[in-house]
Amino acid sequence: MKTLITQYIEEIRNARIEDFKDKAAEVEQFRVRFLGRKGVMNELFEQFKALPNEQKKEMGIALNELKNAAMAKVEEFKNFVEEKMDTDGCHDLTMPADFAQRGSRHVLSVTMNEIAEIFARIGFTIEEGPEIEDDYHVFTALNFALDHPARDMQDTFFIEKEPNVNKPTDVLLRTHTSGVQVRVMERQKPPIRVIMPGRVFRNEAISARAHCIFHQVEGLYVDKKVTFADLKQTLLYFAKEMFGPDTQIRLRPSYFPFTEPSAEMDISCNICGGKGCNICKGTGWLEILGCGMVDPNVLDACGIDSKEYTGFAFGMGVERMAMLKYQIRDLRLYFENDLRFLHQFDNII
């Protein structure tokens, strides 16, 4: 056995990479022959187990020498092949492939696009506006008086504060995309039918149900003889397209400074079918958005005659919609870039 080991060691030391024609493939064959699961080393170790105890020490030293020689030679060959590939600037097609992970859209982008496509089918166009806004477009033009308690509903990130009782000039990160509605009404005469997707900011503690950054899609329709019935039918159409044809809606009275009357809209729970579960807290309903008829004061502030025109507006959180549609339990997952979470949505178009 010792003679055989000596012969193998000699063979390994005399092996030359220059003698290999298909270098990468033959290096792998060389490795498998000596270090593979059914290679020389495993066979010799099986024979080693049957040796008398007095011979095991000497044979063990020889076997370790053979193993170290084989590992060193394989490493030498592999380094040569890698350096050769770098120098030649080519790829060895016999090497195992390392496929790059294919990218995909983020679940929030997918959800926002789906919302936009649904409203596009009924004539809504997309409008965008600045994320850094002024007090007038975010609050004052939307019927928030300077001392109105409704301002406390928004936890605002102020960038510059220049108090002026007559004309507030505070600069801030927008707390909702409603400022885009104001800008659209200021420059465009009715009929107006737009949605406003975008990112908004509020000074809130980050948790599973809240975040300081999130996304909204708001809608606005202004024309002659627009009624609350138009609002209801528009939102019913959206709910059925988004969550399925069996989806039901209900509207509950609410309050927003910029709409009157105002309502919160719920949909029948798409998890339990309205029977009651832990997601809907046993009620069978899930809240998804706020809406209402545009307050006449808002129309007048934007230069639109409230005696001639009426309109409705609505707003929804994109994160909320994605949570309901894809049963996501924690808002923080959207922003943590955890590939285990993101790859769950690779097949969503």
DSSP for 146-206, please give it.
TT-GGGGGS--EEEE----SSS---EEE-SSTHHHHHHHHHH-PSPEEEEEEEEEE-----
Cα dihedral across residues 29, 30, 35, 38: positive or negative: positive
- Output the CA–CA distances (angstroms, integers) from residue 183 to 26, 134, 189, 256, 337, in the order listed: 70, 12, 11, 19, 34
Contact 217, 195 (CB under 8 A): yes
Residue 95, pLDDT score: 65
Question: For 221, phi and psi rounded to 5 degrees?
Answer: -135, 120
Structural domain count, the chain: 2
- In terms of domains, do 60 and 165 share one? no
Q: Let me know if residue 204 belongs to a domain.
A: yes
Domain of residue 47 covers: 2-88
pLDDT tens per residue, range 229-253: 999 999 999 999 999 898 999 999 9
Cis before 253 (ω within 30):
no
Contact 231, 293 (CB under 8 A): yes
Helices (H), ranges, the chain: 2-14, 23-35, 40-49, 53-88, 107-120, 135-138, 178-187, 228-243, 296-301, 318-326, 339-342
pLDDT tens, the chain, 349 aa long: 677 777 777 777 777 777 777 777 888 888 888 888 778 888 887 787 777 888 778 878 887 888 888 888 888 888 877 776 655 555 556 666 666 677 788 999 999 999 999 999 999 999 999 999 988 898 889 988 777 665 666 678 888 665 554 555 678 889 899 999 999 999 999 999 999 999 999 888 888 777 889 999 999 999 999 999 999 999 999 999 999 898 999 999 999 989 999 999 999 987 777 777 777 788 889 899 999 999 999 999 999 999 999 999 999 999 989 988 888 888 888 988 888 888 888 877 6
- In terms of domains, do 273 and 169 share one? yes
Of 58, 88, 118, the residue at which a domain comes to its end is: 88
Of 59, 88, 117, the residue at which a domain comes to its end is: 88
> What CATH number should be reported for the domain holding residue 289?
3.30.930.10
